[in-house]
A and B are shown apart, each in its own frame.
Chain A
């Protein structure tokens, strides 16, 4: 299984808006965008934050679009894109709405915080109230505007909830530097995140060894 998302249009890949991610990134930093798609986020980061960027994507058509925008891009699967990087070679490693498609997400996150000072990860919160209702009352796998796939054709092989992810971070000794919760296009209310967020974005870093 690859984490390809061939069926997705670029605009569908965008969940947390680019603005939110751009806000998180410091001026002039080095950014690696995993699953960079058509490269639009990198282009905007270069323009608005003067970053130096590189993208990784699996799909030929996306690579072509990145190249025509003058970006540096690597075609390959995401783990492969990180394996050969020395520790700390980027300021930020971004994984935008792709975590749930990854074969070994825990390993990838550890690689991200190894290669980058910060990892920026966002993913759909499976515990959102709409999903809970569909599963609990409808008795079926949730299919809605946030996760628009049937179980048999979904590229999403590793859904998790916000709470699950926070637990994983603690297991992996990762510090959550920041989190942004979204309800669709808006910042979620500051309570009941695991019920109300459709999407969560975390900024992570390695906890310094004691």
Chain B
């Protein structure tokens, strides 16, 4: 093994949230649907420090239900670190001793950035379904404003998994001159029919909840049942047959033998229920609808007349990683991106990690994925 004698990885400790607000009356953002939209709050966090030349900034892009809190802890009491704490911090792959790491909540989200749960300044009530239908490009355009605001002309890397990988790809074709490298994990240039189908089931579960009320549930009871079912379905798609088998098998939750009544619960059922319930506390049902739709719509090549043409726009280096057991964002889709980039003679590397954890691998295989990413970043930082 070559280059890793990384110091003992520590945690970032307590991290701060920030909010950047822009838009009308000054420059609103024009959405892909043609509408001017704003004002927009962007919730973001930063870790490490920007060097004097501003050449060490990395933008982390979160997945569907993630948020700006990628690493560290919000309070000394909090038990839960940020969602990618294993990957970001001093001595970790996104090494905050070297790099300035930024993560923001996406447009349409519900974790501090403007989304359907935010108040519409014109009405004083939440946007709900009057929120515009947004796209991955819109999310990226909002992030671009944040990066401009932070005074960064060029990002050392944009990196993300799943929906975050879509944003990383979109960044590198939309603003090629601003992206020295992109890291695309467990992602795709466009969802499969199967991926869209699962998102549709999630949206249907939410919309058919009697409390959904056309999205205007904010002052009433939440469509908790629908959102919880959506999450349960989603969660199944993030795991794999193998990982479920290892984790739960056919074990019952409370009984030793079948009672042949409906009180019997397999462990996997109880787990999904728990995930569903936990999700309702932190996620907005309307955001689920908007963000899943943005993923469904996403098609990297569409705007440019094909994937290869889109790939030809990319200026920086690209690292694509897929996982063998990921059936939601399958390796063959990652390879479509890679082949398009290779045909366009781009500097692209691809690995397919053998992992049993399904789509969730990019959150769990932090050691092997981390080694690849830290080597990649190191070479970009050194040679760029």
Which residues of A approach B to under 8 Å, CB–CB?
52, 54, 60-61, 63-76, 84-86, 89
Prevailing SS type, chain A contact patch: mixed
Complex CA distance for A84 and B349, rounded to whole angstroms: 15
Q: Within 8 Å of chain A (Cβ to Cβ): is B343?
A: yes
Q: Is the CB of B379 within 8 A of A68?
A: yes
25 contacts between A and B (CB under 8 A): A61-B1, A63-B351, A64-B371, A64-B375, A65-B2, A67-B349, A67-B372, A68-B2, A68-B375, A68-B376, A68-B379, A69-B2, A70-B382, A71-B349, A72-B317, A72-B348, A72-B349, A74-B338, A74-B342, A74-B350, A75-B352, A76-B352, A84-B339, A86-B343, A89-B343
Identify the closest chain B residue to A63 (Cβ). Answer: B351
Per CB-CB distance, the 3 closest pairs between chain A and chain B, nearest first, are A70-B379, A68-B375, A84-B339
List, in ascending order, chain B residues with CB within 8 A of A60's CB.
351, 353-354, 368
- CB < 8 Å neighbour of A68 from B3, B343, B350: B3
Q: Which residue of A lies closest to B352 (CB)?
A: A75
Chain A, Cβ-Cβ closest to B380: A70
CB distance from B109 to the nearest CB of A (A): 32
Q: Is B319 an interface residue (CB 8 A)?
A: yes
Known: A54-B342, A60-B368. A68 touches B378 (CB 8 A): yes
The residues of B with any CB-CB pair to A shorter than 8 Å are 1-3, 317, 319, 335, 338-339, 342-343, 345, 347-354, 368, 371-372, 375-376, 378-380, 382-383
- A52-B348 Cα distance, complex, nearest whole Å: 12
On whether A66 and B372 interact (CB within 8 A), knowing A74-B342, A86-B343, the answer reads no
**CB proximity of B356 to chain A, nearest CB, Å:** 15
Residue of A nearest to B3 (CB): A68
Instruction: Tell whether, in the assembled complex, residue A84 and residue B342 are in contact, meaning their CB atoms are under 8 Å apart.
Output: yes
**What separation, in Å, do the CA atoms of A67 and B352 have in the docked complex?**
14
Q: With the chains together, A140 CA to B56 CA distance in Å? A: 60
- In the bound assembly, the distance between CA atoms of A60 and B352 in angstroms comes to 8
Bound together, the chains give a CA A85 to CA B375 distance in angstroms of 27
Nearest chain A CB to B19 CB, angstrom units: 36
- A65: B residues at CB distance < 8 A: 1-2
- Residues of chain B contacted by A86 (CB below 8 angstroms): 343
CA distance A88 to B328 in the complex (A): 35
Q: How far is the CA of A66 from the CA of B371 in the complex (A)?
A: 12
* B247 CB to nearest A CB, Å: 24
User: Shortest distance in angstroms between B110's beta carbon and chain A's nearest beta carbon?
Assistant: 36
Q: Give every chain B residue within 8 A of A54 (Cβ-Cβ).
A: 342
